[in-house]
Amino acid sequence: MDSSIVMDIAIESLVVTIKVALPVLAGALSAGVVVGVLQAATSIQEMTLSFIPKLAVMAIMLALFGEWQLNVLMEFFDAIFERVRNLEA
């Protein structure tokens, strides 16, 4: 196995990881910012207050994007298994 093949697989795996994680992380980030702004506006400084909205948004994002995320991962694994199958001993 050539080092360029390994680097291609590594880069592709990082891209797939970013694509799969981005919707959930973006939802959690936006929920955290909104709750943080509301906490700053109302002077409520409870640290646990932002946990439930973030958890709810992450669950909603997984429900919305879960099928797409699984499809992206399955396509990646299929491509990896195809590369392994085509390797010469």
Residue-wise pLDDT for 49-64, tens only, equals 889 999 999 999 999 9
Q: Is the pLDDT of residue 10 over 70?
A: yes
20 touches 75 (CB < 8 A): no
CA angle 27, 31, 37 (to 5 degrees): 150
Residue 12 has pLDDT above 70, yes or no: yes
Q: Which domain holds residue 8?
A: 3-85
Decide if pLDDT at 1 tops 80.
no
The total number of structural domains in the chain stands at 1
Query: Is the pLDDT at 88 greater than 70, yes or no?
Result: no
| Residue 83 predicted with pLDDT over 60 | yes
Residue ranges in 43-86 assigned as alpha helix (H): 51-85
Percentage of the chain surpassing pLDDT 90? 70
pLDDT tens digits, one per residue of 21-39: 999 999 999 999 999 999 8
pLDDT (0 to 100) of residue 89: 52
Q: Taking the alpha carbons of 37, 40, 42, 45 in that order, is the dihedral positive or negative?
A: positive
